[in-house]
Amino acid sequence: VRPPAKIPYGMEEQYEKALDELYEDLVPVNGCELITASQVVPVCQVVDGQKKLKRLAINYKGTINDHLLDIPHISTTCSEELDKLKGEYRSCIDLKGAFKQIPVTPGFSQKVLAVVTPRGYAVPTRMQFGIKTAPAIWNSNMRKLIHGMNDRGPIKAAVMVDDVCITGDTAKEHFDNLHEFVYRLFAAGLKANIKKCSFYQNEVKFLGKIVDRDGVRLDNSTTDPIVKMPVPQDKQQLRSFLGSMSYISKHVPDLRKARAPLDTLLKPEVQYVWESQHQEAFSLCKKLAGNSARLTHFDMKKPIVLTTDASPYGVGACLSHKVTTNGKSKLHPIAYASASLKPSEKNYAQIDREGLGIYWAIQHFRQYLWCQKFELHTDCSALVKIFGPKNDLGGCATGRLNRWAAALMEFDFTVKHIKGSSNSTADSLSRLPVCTPGTQQAHYPGGLAGNTSFGGMSTALGMRQQQSSDVPVCSKIEVLLQEEELMDDVQELASAPQVGWASVTVSQIVGEAPKAAWDILPLTIQDVATATKDCRQYGKLYNAVRSGVLDSTDPELKKFNGVFEELYIEDGVLYLGSRVVIPTAQHLRLLTELHYTHIGVVKMKETVRRYFWWPGITRDIEAMAAKCDGCRRYKKKPPPVPLCPWPYARRPMERVHIDYCEYKGKMVLVMIAPTVRRFGQDA
């Protein structure tokens, strides 16, 4: 026989009062009436922070909870319920006892819920707190009550367990909703706690937040404990503080910017040492918590604007309504959100991080944006073309940008470029985002990854997927050159028997070159990546692309101003769209390798500019072709013959020069000039 729990002497009086309340739903039974004494559970005390007894509870973890089947039900978040409270008036109703209003079937169901108290054995007549399936049963019944009891239609109300908030746009609509809800409570046999109810309020406290006609804001009872919180003494206390900050982050747009030093302290490899920078961040977080923003109610009839931004550390977004007043448009925030970047995502180029921010933000606010036309604001002009209505899914974007753009085609939105100075809200969110597991990365759609994936340098050159270290930069160029008749002839000569034949190469046919085209050592990704980092100019550009900021005052980087937003990094190599950016040290080598076949300046420009880029690439190609003797000799228009002086004559009339000319359109003069005579003679 299981004995009842011991009662502390200091709580005997409080315990008896709580036991009286508990026995309102219990029926005393004889121990022999139970199925077995092993399933009987004792009651436990729930004590507050001041060591006072709040209530008695029953713990079913060790008995029936492991044997109960889960009941599928639809659960909603607090944010989803708060979105339903748009209106002029609100009434809050508290249902007395919540789960305890649901009766328990007599017999077996009561006996498996049996408890033991100092007064003996008892079985509950109503559902008790602590039963695993109690929340699912209650929520399912409340959902039926609100959304359509007896086919009477839904009520404009928000429900979270036993708290219900009725709303309405007008006084009459609110009265009709309230009257219908009270009628349904009466029909279902449920009771309300009138002491905790409030009716026809312009402002109510619901789910820990203040709700009125203008929106939702934080309650002082939520922010005051954060503002008054002492300095954390260890990582556990700091984690609790940052958890409280994460709860209010939806209302504080600048919070992420202040959390950086504090989040660093939570890393496992960092020792907990509180310094001045941490104290400044701690004070700033508490100050921001005391000045939280008001969020407006979501309204599908108002224009929706999604503003995104990205930084080297994370992505941020702000969902807003565009409201026009007196001819001026203003954005009213609905919600703020941010996420940290994984270490691999921090290596993305800025344009890729901006694209990741767009993809993540739209997926994060999917419930608001699905089947809604909205406007997307970004401070990256290159993404306007990639994610815009006329999506450029060709060769000007990386594989991941193409995948994100293709995945977002199911949404109806237009992209608008805004100045970076006008994007302070989303920018501040991205500077230090929330570190939430599972939401730090926007995953690629599985169905698109295999069809549109780029394999680094190899895909940029049209090759099959290979390891990056083995992919030659000029492999695709070689394939194109095989279509030329010259290459066909040379290959035929090279494959012929060696007996009685001389060794023939391309260079011996058309120009002075030491090697044949297929004998050239290819330029690999490793060569380009190493040369990029070793080059002073392109090393600066590489770091600028990684940080997302280009120093326009640097004379070496000025020439990249027009294309900076289209540059990105993959496998340590800079790309402009799908073209490889070749550093200065490899310009001559690449052009020399590609010119060994003497394909001509036009064909060479067409081929090289399709796969490679650097400032002045056209000028360098023309200069390379102009210096090639083989090209000059065999091109369609040979160069003009240089002027050569005639040798001196050894005797008179040894050489006679004859010429003719037209004078005033009438007379033809023939000039005969003996070599030794100073003046010509007319004939």
Q: What is the pTM of this model?
A: 0.63
Give residue 498's pLDDT band: very low, low, confident or very high (50, 70, 90). very low
Kindly tell me if the per-residue pLDDT of 454 is higher than 70.
no
State residue 503's pLDDT score. 41
Rounded Cα distance between 126 and 105, Å, is: 8
- Helix residue spans in 189-250 (DSSP H): 220-227, 235-247
Give residue 605's pLDDT band: very low, low, confident or very high (50, 70, 90). confident
Per-residue pLDDT of 104-119, as tens digits, reads 888 777 778 888 888 8
Q: Is the dihedral of CA 579, 584, 588, 590 positive or negative?
A: negative
Mean pLDDT, residues 392-410? 74
State residue 398's pLDDT score. 63
pLDDT: which is higher, 499 or 578: 578
State residue 368's pLDDT score. 92
Q: What is the CATH number of domain 475-634?
A: 1.10.340.70
Q: Which amino acid is located at 21 in the chain?
A: E
The CA-atom distances, in angstroms, between 517 and each of 156, 405, 511, 587, 596 are 77, 40, 12, 18, 6
Mean pLDDT, residues 32-60? 72
Under a CB-based contact definition with an 8 Å cutoff, are residues 105 and 179 in contact? Answer: no
Per-residue pLDDT of 569-584, as tens digits, reads 887 888 887 788 989 8
Q: Do domains 9-211 and 475-634 have the same CATH topology?
A: no
The answer to which of 371-380, 455-464, 520-529, 569-578 has the lowest mean pLDDT is: 455-464
State residue 58's pLDDT score. 83
Closest Cα to residue 539, out of 562, 556, 522, 558? Answer: 556
Rounded Cα distance between 564 and 487, Å, is: 38
State residue 499's pLDDT score. 40
Q: SS3 for 340?
A: strand
Q: What is the mean pLDDT of the chain?
A: 75
State residue 166's pLDDT score. 92
Closest Cα to residue 314, out of 285, 343, 284, 334? Answer: 343
State residue 4's pLDDT score. 67
Its CATH architecture, for the domain 304-452, is 2-Layer Sandwich (3.30)
Token representation of residue 184: 């349904």
Per-residue pLDDT of 636-670, as tens digits, reads 665 666 777 777 777 777 777 777 777 777 666 66
CATH assignment of 9-211, among 3.30.70.270, 3.40.50.720, 3.30.830.10, 3.40.50.1100: 3.30.70.270
User: Where do the structural domains in the chain lie, given as residue ranges?
Assistant: 9-211, 216-290, 304-452, 475-634, 646-683
Place of tokens 């203003």: 330
State residue 397's pLDDT score. 57
The answer to which of 181-190, 290-299, 457-466, 575-584 has the lowest mean pLDDT is: 457-466
